[in-house]
Amino acid sequence: MENLIEIKNLTKQYKELKAIDGLSLEVKQGEILGLLGPNGSGKSTTINCILSLLNFSEGEIKIFGKQMKPDAYDIKAKIGVVFQDVAVFEELTVQENIDYFCGLYIKDKAKRKQYLDDAIELVGLEEFRKFYPKQLSGGLLRRLNIACGIAHKPKLIFLDEPTVAVDPQSRNNILDGIKKLRDKGATIVYTTHYMEEVEIICDRIIILDKGKVLATGTADELKELAKIEEKVTVEVNDLATKHIEPIQKMETVHEVTYHGNVLLVTYKQGKNNLVDLMDYLKKENIPYNKIYSERPTLNDVFLELTGKELRD
């Protein structure tokens, strides 16, 4: 697949802070790319530079094979952006809002009407055409926000946290709509803090921190980067401190934590760990409620790469 976006050696400096530090990445045509990173990692700054909403210190950005500049309106007309903060007009109905934003790009009325209908169908707002934003639930409002950003059928779409604070039904609807956009030929850059969403819809993932790419690949490829091969979780009441150290000394154990009656043991290798731990608990007469094993998750890799400390 050819690259729709090419970024080379991008640097953005704010006085003493390098928000982006020599960043290079590509977005391939027809993919959903997950752009992940903790707060302050440079995600928003990178996107704003790509869209020419921010000037940058060094580097090069190409979109559709052309240099991206603030006045590159031919390129911008092919881009759709849905920011995290909902941006619609309260005094316009659902269909009037979508028609307005679509009309910024599509002047032909017949074509615009068809695009309007397509956008409403995509996000499932057929029954809410004449509703005003204040009459919509949070999930419906998010879906309206997406429809306004993609109604002109852009070839490249940026979606920033589109499922924040919505119910599971609305989230499923939004994720299904995003996959439909990809299947119809759109290329999508997707930012979120929900790792399960990334695994569901993203073809490829980039993890950023401190303005640099830490890792890139599919969800399965990134999981291979984990320092652990297995996690065992045990619900056990009042586990004595004296029992934790022997577990920590087991041959393949990586780390042991015990909080809120939950014992979590991570292992560097994934063979016979569950049996060995159960044997130890039985030998020490330690009763437990539940015990289960799982492979490392994308969230585990994310925390390993970016650290576990809280970010502002």
Domains contained in the chain, CATH given: 3-223 (3.40.50.300), 230-295 (3.30.70.100)
| Distance separating alpha carbons of residues 36 and 28, to the nearest angstrom | 17
Give the pair of three-digit tokens for residue 199. 């695994």
pLDDT digits (tens, 9 = 90+) for 127-137: 999 999 999 99
Q: Tell how strand 66-67 and strand 212-217 pair up.
A: unpaired
Contact 42, 53 (CB under 8 A): no
Q: pTM to 2 decimals?
A: 0.90
Contact 60, 7 (CB under 8 A): yes
Contact 239, 291 (CB under 8 A): no
Residue 160 has a CB neighbour count (10 Å cut-off) of 18
Give the total residue count for the chain.
312
Looking up tokens 């309106």 gives: 73
Task: Give the pLDDT band of residue 312 (cuts 50, 70, 90).
Answer: low
Find the mean pLDDT for residues 184-209: 95
Sign of CA dihedral 275, 281, 282, 288: negative
Residue 241 has a CB neighbour count (10 Å cut-off) of 7
Looking up tokens 């979109």 gives: 63
Percentage of residues in the chain having pLDDT higher than 90: 89
Q: Tell how strand 204-209 and strand 32-36 pair up.
A: parallel
pLDDT digits (tens, 9 = 90+) for 2-26: 999 999 999 999 888 899 999 999 9
